[in-house]
Amino acid sequence: MSRREFLAATGSAGVLGVAGCTAPTSDRTQTALQGGSGAAAAQDESLPSTSPPEVVNVDEQGGSVTLKSMPARHSAHPLETMGGPVNIPQVWAFQADDGDPSVPGPILRTTEGNDMEVTLDNTGGMRPHTLHFHGVRKAWKDDGVPTTTGIRVDPGEKHTYTIPANVPGTHLYHCHYQTHRHIEMGMYGIFRVDPEGYEPADREYFMTVKDWDSRLPRQMAGEDVSYDPRNRNPDIFTINGKSAPRTLHPEDGSPVIVSEGDQVRIHFANNGYMSHPLHIHNHRFERTEKDGGVIPEAARHEMDITNIAPAERHTIEFTADAEPGIYLLHCHKVNHVMNGGFYPGGMLGGVVYESVMDTDIFAQLMEYAGYEG
């Protein structure tokens, strides 16, 4: 494949080793990775498949967007490489307007000072839902918590929330009805408020990390499994819904593509239930925002790992000033960088310099990821 083909696929203008890294896999984890077993566990081919999350510029739509949730099939890593396939037989994916369903849900982007009208369309749903937005200050009735506002969106109903863009930064949204189950089923996404006069970096990326206990999605797909949220045991780890090596696929994944000297900005969000220390190889970065708050210049310092707790959002910035190559970006809880008992996998991505895209090692990496560009 050529560098040009790869860059076209991504929409963009140290090496991953696999030898000697396998280990035994438990029966439960192996079942999860293979997408279940038996007739009851077969993926429902009538369900749509998820797509990568799209960025929805709500300003360009007149300040309004409609979100639906629907059951879908989700493949975190579809190939029999590096511990795969990793399949989740059923998720509850968000769809914006007429777009594709995705997990994470669409990235809703707006500008400071604008109100955003978000309609939750549950007319085709099977269970109640709500929408809760972190970060911004809003009216009580728009908080999205059914037990404290008295508002929930039952099957067959619609409801519109007014979400003011009054706190710039990167935020979250998720369903707040039976939260412990509905987030586990995939009902979460990023909400971005650009400050007035926002200056984009040369390269900008959004990355949502998530740990999954696959027993709940498998149970919802009809498997005979037991799930207890108080005894959660995550077995799938994703970045933007994908496990390595699919994370590095230019269309399904989210590789960080850079050229020498680029200023790079990454918005991390944690929609899982565990903290994740995120590390980038061979680059020093500064954390510039946390949970919508700008970190003062005097409080910033160079670092190479940022520990992001559940629901936190960290924005980091760095210069692509390393020797051109392929460098890992991953959770440093190393058991999170696995597909079952196979290492590497899971919550792992990479920083890829354009100038090395014609190398044999890059071609091998794309073969693992399933890219045939």
The sign of the dihedral angle between the CA atoms of 121, 125, 130, 136 is: negative
Residue 128: its pLDDT value, please? 98
Write the pLDDT tens digit of every residue in 221-246: 999 999 999 999 999 999 999 999 99
Write the pLDDT tens digit of every residue in 343-370: 999 999 999 999 999 999 999 999 999 9
Residue 10: its pLDDT value, please? 60
Given CATH 2.60.40.420, say whether it is the number of domain 38-199: yes
Regarding beta strands 348-353 and 305-308, do their DSSP bridges make them parallel or antiparallel, or are they unpaired? unpaired
Domain ranges (residues) in the chain:
38-199
Q: CA 214 → CA 22, 120, 184, distances in Å?
A: 21, 26, 9
> Mean pLDDT across the chain, nearest whole number?
91
pLDDT at residue 316 greater than cutoff 60:
yes
pLDDT at residue 5 greater than cutoff 90:
no
pLDDT at residue 180 greater than cutoff 50:
yes
For the chain, give the percent of residues with pLDDT over 70: 88
Report the chain's terminal Cα–Cα distance, integer Å: 6
Write the pLDDT tens digit of every residue in 9-23: 565 543 343 333 444
When pLDDT is averaged across residues 101-125 and rounded to a whole number, the result is 97
pLDDT at residue 200 greater than cutoff 50:
yes
When pLDDT is averaged across residues 259-286 and rounded to a whole number, the result is 98
